[in-house]
Amino acid sequence: MNRLAGFSMSSRIRSRSWNASEVSVSSPDSRYTTAADSSSSWTSTLSCFQFAIDPPMFHVGSQCLTRESLPSQRASREASRVSVLSWGVVRSGWGPASFRDSPFRLGMGTAGSNDMKPTSIAHALGGQVGVGSEIRIQGWVRTRRDSKAGLSFIHVHDGSSFDPIQVVAGNSLANYESEVAKLSAGCAVDVVGTLVESQGKGQSTEIQASSVEVVGWVEDPDTYPVSPKRHTFEYLREVAHLRPRTNTIGAVTRVRNCLAQAVHRFFHERGFYWIHTPIVTGSDCEGAGDMFRVSTLDLCNIPKTPDGKVDYSQDFFGKETNLTVSGQLNVECYCLALSKVYTFGPTFRAENSYTARHLAEFWMIEPEIAFADLDQDADLADELLKYCFRAVLEERADDMAFFVERIEKTAIERLEKFIATPLTHLDYTDAIEILETCGKTFEFPVHWGADLQTEHERFLAEEHVKGPVAIKNYPKEIKAFYMRMNDDGKTVAAMDILAPGIGEIVGGSQREERLDRLDARIAELGLNIDDYWWYRDLRRYGTVPHAGFGLGFERLVVYATGVQNIREVIPFPRWAGNATF
RNA sequence: UCCUCGGUAGCUCAAUGGUAGAGCAUGCGGCUGUUAACCGCAGGGUUGUAGGUUCGAGUCCUACCCGGGGAGCCA
């Protein structure tokens, strides 16, 4: 017996039409195709199957095509078409005779459509494919409009660009009535045709389809959560698994990727090393906010020490550990050896923050530069931001145009202005004076020594400067222990970059490189000096002035896109009470 | 955690304490090289949950749950 067995990856029956002239089953290695008569009906993706050639047997693994496995609403319509497919062996009573009896043809390619290499829609629309050439695209239906002249216009999207491509499917297609005319938003299709100049308005080229294969149906178009209409962002968050199919989230996703690539390119071009600082930290001295505990202790049976406290010595790491709130202290170690370094990874803050600019899990970029002071630090941040925005304008013009049209009118203008304008530097002391004399009354009074409230930051960035502004040299009382003491003894070399609509996008400082001053600050703040032994070692062995900053990646995406809420710019946002998906 | 607004059809929203509606979406029909198409018809509801007031509650009261916006914290 010629038995072909043990395909571990998923495979798929590639045709579901009753009219199909053939059924092909493909695996990563090869494809098996057989003829099937017009009454055969197939749906579902199969995996882990075995194929026996002689006698014809069909072992189905994890997903078995049965009446029950059919989507509910379709079941009634289609059940009559589905013959009995039992678990394990296809019985002789199942399926069309021609299928059972026909020899399986081995190898690539009996179905012409499956031979052609698919093209991304971005390539098809971008002029890389010549008009008149054969083309194959794979994607999902956005909309379908019918013309009773015997045509359907199908917008197909594959994520490669903002625009979908228009597929023109005529009623001469064998599955036109049975399938093409029933396509709805979200259906997955595999289209072969000719790239032609469009006869209609709205697009220059389109595909005249010679074949439209439905790879995956939408089970119940009536309740498909991402119907072609306007949805609120709040609603889309509840269907976060499907929201990448929308224009906005798709565009945000491409811009986010563009920004991430630009960040790495920026640093790479300047000789920075990307340092993978730990996600799990045993350092309890990061002090940047409430932390998520990491533990393997049984919550129902927590070991206690004799004095009644949690006995972390029995925990996985033998000590209390948490998810990182910043890679800064770790990356400083590498900075003082490799000179120019940065981190770019996930960060976790267990704060009950319900605002449009906070997440419990977010990505942060933290460069650290040796032999550098605060101004060089601020300049680096400015350059990085400008580099990233330039990349977005150049690489994602299509998505940015959409943001201007639907999300934020000034999205492009704002980035262009940012790029063209030198970053405004403002001393904290001067900022306070501006706030005190601006004639505006604030809910929170302004005075030297107080931290800037959101309303103050907004005034400075949105009304006074009307653009991003770096505020430098804050009072030491409101900043972290590691920031470098200025000569005045009152302020530290800290800087925050405030952006309109977002507030603080960058927070950084020159680090205190003098051991005696560092120790004094640790003591002043009542911190346990023993916890900082390795951090202090950096000041004992070849210390140099150095500086760095943290840039909230999602805030960067928010600023670039003009999207209002940070929860829209990360695929699966986490905030207090929300970790579905 | 605090302040504030809200929860009604798949989605967005209406509805003096008195018969729960519209637009979009979906299905069917018509029309059309269409493109947020258009025209007609249809299906679709335990009004967030649990109590209470009332002859009568989507509407008023109480508690809770969920969501938005703002604040704090920060990136």
Residue A199, CB, strand B, below 7 Å: yes
State the pLDDT at residue A284: 64
A321-323 β-sheet, strand order: A280-281, A321-323, A293-294
A561: how many CB neighbours lie within 10 A of its CB? Answer: 26
A202: how many CB neighbours lie within 10 A of its CB? Answer: 10
List all nucleotides in chain B with at least one atom under 7 A from a protein Cβ.
1-2, 10-13, 23-28, 31-37, 43, 66-75
Do residues A205 and A196 make contact, with C-beta atoms less than 8 angstroms apart? yes
Residue A148, CB, strand B, below 7 Å: yes
Extract the residue ranges of chain A whose pLDDT is less than 70.
1-114, 284-289
Residue A194, CB, strand B, below 7 Å: no
Compute CA distances A460 → A231, A270, A422, A441, A478, whole Å.
Answer: 34, 32, 16, 14, 19
Q: Is the pTM of this model over 0.90?
A: no
Residue A206, CB, strand B, below 7 Å: yes
Tokens 């072969």 belong to residue? A192
- Tell me how far apart the alpha carbons of residues A31 and A114 are, in angstroms, rounded to a whole number: 10
Residue nearest to nucleotide B25 (CA to C1'): A227
State the pLDDT at residue A59: 26
State the pLDDT at residue A88: 25
Q: Please identify residues in chain A, positions 308-347, with a C-beta within 7 angstroms of any atom of strand B.
A: 326
Selection from A379, A363, A367 nearest residue A557 by Cα: A363
Selection from A476, A472, A496, A471 nearest residue A488 by Cα: A476
- Tell me how far apart the alpha carbons of residues A483 and A287 are, in angstroms, rounded to a whole number: 13
Nearest nucleic acid nucleotide to A363, CA to C1' distance: B75
Give the number of residues written for chain A. 581
Compute CA distances A465 → A40, A420, A431, A499, whole Å.
Answer: 69, 15, 11, 10
Tokens 């000719």 belong to residue? A194
State the pLDDT at residue A287: 61
E strand or H helix at A491: strand A491-499
Q: What is the largest CA-CA distance in chain A?
A: 93
Do residues A338 and A331 make contact, with C-beta atoms less than 8 angstroms apart? no
What 3-state DSSP class applies to A371? coil
- Tell me how far apart the alpha carbons of residues A97 and A142 are, in angstroms, rounded to a whole number: 38
Q: pLDDT, tens digit, for every residue of A136-195?
A: 999 999 988 888 778 889 999 999 999 999 999 998 898 888 889 889 889 999 999 999
Q: Please identify residues in chain A, positions 252-291, with a C-beta within 7 angstroms of any atom of strand B.
A: 288-289
Q: pLDDT, tens digit, for every residue of A413-440?
A: 989 989 998 999 999 999 999 998 888 8
State the pLDDT at residue A44: 27
Q: Please identify residues in chain A, positions 372-431, with a C-beta within 7 angstroms of any atom of strand B.
A: none
CA-CA-CA-CA torsion for A116, A395, A274, A507, nearest 10 degrees? Answer: -150
Do residues A255 and A560 make contact, with C-beta atoms less than 8 angstroms apart? yes
Nearest nucleic acid nucleotide to A580, CA to C1' distance: B66
The pLDDT > 70 percentage for chain A reads: 79
How far does chain A reach from its first CA to its final CA, in angstroms?
46
Residue A357, CB, strand B, below 7 Å: yes
E strand or H helix at A374: helix A374-395
